[in-house]
A and B are shown apart, each in its own frame.
Chain A
Amino acid sequence: MENFIIQLLNGLVASMLLFIMAAGLSLIFGQMNVINLAHGAFYLLGGYIGLSVVRRFDNFWLALIIAPLIVGGLGVIIEYLFLRRLYGTHRHLDQVLFTFGLALVASDLIQWNWGAYVESVAPPTLLAGHIPVFSLTFPIYRLSLIGFGLLLALALWLFLERTRLGAIVRAGVSDAQMVSGLGINIHLVFAGIFALGTALAALAGVVGSPIRPLYPGLDFEILILTLVVVVVGGLGSLQGAFFGSLLIGMADTFGKAYLPEFSLFLIFAVMAVVLLIRPAGLFGLKENGQ
């Protein structure tokens, strides 16, 4: 029973980490109809930048700010220089392919700069240590990550539901004329959303680094899990990202704990069942993104 509760908490931690990733991926898709296959690379990049910041300044909180800023800025540049060229009715696949090329390049550049070692980051001293859970203990850092994920979910929800910009993103309005009719520059919205999405990936990389050590290849592992989350939850929906993350995070954690041989199989089984019942995902708004 105690072990079960620990696993439940671990499941929540994994879910929140996934949620931060999936929310970014889903936001970008909802607005731009692009699946960003470089999303995992941005996670890893964020994690490694965080690692460098922690090493140099010995300050985790600084890393938490700097890494998303740098990666988000990079997102703006990429959107401005490349993705913008590919907007147009028939070039969605090209956009996805572009992000795939980006993932290849980024993956190699990261390995070039940070090497091929397994690197882990210590949690901030403020959140170091454990708290007792019945007769067992649970790391404070992990517990606070659950809280952080929930707060972030709330903040994103408020942004989408309560702001005008959020309404535009939520509606997936991509008609430049219509949006400029509202007095908003669609190019700024696209750049902003892509920056926000990539910054979220970097944020996940930083907060995840004390739990999941960084290594080349992690980018693709994370990406696949995130894709499964959005397939299950439904693309372009924040609720979908949230509940999809919970479902997959829990399935992954409990699978690893109780059925280690079948843990990955379990995740994909969940995905297959959802696809059978609701091909557009549990909270899917759009049938597909073609």
Chain B
Amino acid sequence: MTSLTEQMGLSTWLGQKRVKLGLIIMAVILALIYPYVSSLYFLSLAIEVFIFAIFAMSLDLLLGYTGLASFGHAAFLGLGGYILGYISSRSDLALNLTSNILITLPLVIIGTALIAFIIGFFALRTSGIYFLMVTLAFAQMLFSIAIRWSGITGGSDGLAGVARPVIGLGSFSYEFSSRPSFYYLVLFFFLLSWWLLRRIVNSPFGWTLRGIRENEQRMKALGYNTFRFKMAAFVIAGTFAGLSGMLLVQFFRHAAPGNLYWTMSGQVIVMLIVGGTGTLIGPILGAMVIRLFPLFVSSYTERWELLLGLLFILFVLFAPKGIMGFLGVKPSTLLTQEKRPSG
């Protein structure tokens, strides 16, 4: 099928810088006017897609760019959510301090970065399948803490009654109380994350990560302290996941242990594989497909989880490069090529 799109010239067309820029500007304009044309239900779906797109992009920094297959990324989604919940839930268990994102956001970032550093310190001593298992185990540990430590986390009920996010500075204060206003907040964070991550993956640091993915031994032979770079990637990915977790909890106004559960880690991997790893657009597409998937199938059957699993298996077996590979879009190279190599 790749050859089909290539024959049609689609991949070359998509590969052009002007086309890319045009598509991106169009998508951003569409996203900006979306609340005016969408029903509340579809607006909520879009919010979910953007939140999960941040989550998926953050994992791609590890899996797609650094080659670290983390199976416990939900740890940071859940953690970000719980930190926010604990600060701004009206529940008796929580602090109910503030929902001002100028305060909550830095706390979420610091908290998730710290935990990512600790988990990374242990997990990054391993690689390959061990890394996969160890990250999974650590995420599951956080899940069990969330379930057991009910005095802080609300146990299996989680923390309900999370206050709506507010932005306040001095006498200025604005509450994101309406659905469209929250949509724009999420859109802002999505675009910001995408832009930041784009800068990161195209920087010398980002290329270092690709080098580690391709051949860590050679990177060491060149003088790189690869552990530090992997740690940095792990912490950055953890913080962006924490940000998405914060938004998720602000949206549902409920910090739930399910956000830490391993099926969540699995779901984001499904998004990456379906969308295509090693690019940032791939995870966004993947998040879109997976979060909108129930929309297409649940009217036919209750077993959409089964269908999701089957869809995933099909991609793994037959299209391991995901939708991006399907479209013939290749990961970007460091130098723009004046002439494309034949074949």
Q: Could you list which residues of chain A lie within 8 angstroms of chain B, going by C-beta atoms? A: 29, 33, 35, 82, 85-86, 91-94, 96-98, 100-105, 107-109, 112, 220, 224, 227-228, 230-231, 235, 261, 264-265, 268, 271-272, 275-276, 279-280, 287-290
Contacts and interface: CB of A to CB of B under 8 A. Distances in A.
Contact of B266 (A82, A100, A280): A100
B273 interface: yes
Contacts of B132: 35, 96
The 8 closest A-B pairs by CB, nearest first: A290-B128, A104-B309, A288-B128, A105-B309, A289-B129, A101-B313, A264-B144, A268-B141
Nearest to B267: A104
Interface stretch (B119-127, B196-204, B247-255): B119-127
Contacts of B136: 224, 227
B140 A98 contact: no
B309 A101 contact: yes
Nearest to A90: B320
Contacts of B266: 100, 104
Interface residues of B, number: 40
A94 B320 contact: yes
A108 B305 contact: yes
B130 A93 contact: no
Interface in B304-322: 305-306, 308-310, 312-313, 316-317, 320
29 contacts: A35-B132, A94-B320, A96-B69, A97-B273, A97-B312, A98-B316, A100-B71, A100-B266, A101-B270, A101-B313, A101-B316, A104-B266, A104-B312, A105-B309, A227-B133, A230-B133, A231-B133, A235-B129, A235-B130, A268-B138, A271-B134, A271-B137, A272-B122, A275-B134, A276-B125, A280-B130, A289-B129, A289-B130, A290-B129
A288 B131 contact: yes
Interface in B183-225: none
B313 A93 contact: no
A217 to B, nearest CB: 9
Contacts of A94: 316, 320
Given A86-B317, A92-B129, A104-B266, 10 more contacts: A94-B320, A104-B306, A107-B305, A108-B303, A224-B137, A230-B133, A235-B130, A265-B145, A268-B137, A280-B126
A58 to B, nearest CB: 32
Nearest to A105: B309
Nearest to B273: A97
B128 A98 contact: no
Given A104-B309, A108-B309, A224-B136, A96 B317 contact: no
B269 interface: yes
Nearest to B133: A227
Given A265-B145, A276-B122, A101 B312 contact: yes
A290 B148 CA distance: 34
B270 to A, nearest CB: 8
B145 A224 contact: no
Contacts of B303: 108, 112
B145 A289 contact: no
A279 B129 contact: no
Nearest to A262: B148
Contacts of A275: 122-123, 125-126, 134
A102 B313 contact: yes
Report which residue of A33, A85, A97, A235 has the largest number of chain B beta carbons within 10 angstroms of its beta carbon.
Answer: A97
Given A35-B129, A97-B273, A289-B130, A109 B137 contact: no
A230 B69 CA distance: 18
A61 B329 CA distance: 56
B76 interface: no
Nearest to B128: A290
A272 B269 CA distance: 24
A276 B122 CA distance: 7
Contacts of B129: 29, 33, 35, 92, 96, 235, 288-290
Contact of A261 (B71, B148, B305, B310): B148
Nearest to A228: B137
A91 B127 CA distance: 16
Contacts of B316: 86, 94, 97-98, 101
B56 to A, nearest CB: 15
Contacts of B137: 224, 227-228, 231, 268, 271
Contact of A100 (B125, B126, B145, B269): B269
Nearest to A109: B306
Contacts of A264: 141, 144-145, 148
Contacts of A35: 129, 132-133
Contacts of A227: 133, 136-137
B262 interface: yes
A287 B127 CA distance: 8
Contacts of A288: 126-131
A108 B305 CA distance: 7
Contacts of B126: 275, 279-280, 288
Contacts of B149: 261
A279 B138 contact: no
B286 to A, nearest CB: 13
A188 to B, nearest CB: 22
Contacts of A280: 126, 130
Report which residue of A85, A92, A98, A101 has the largest number of chain B beta carbons within 10 angstroms of its beta carbon.
Answer: A101
Contacts of A85: 317
Interface string B213-241: 00000000000000000000000000000
A148 to B, nearest CB: 27
A104 B317 contact: no
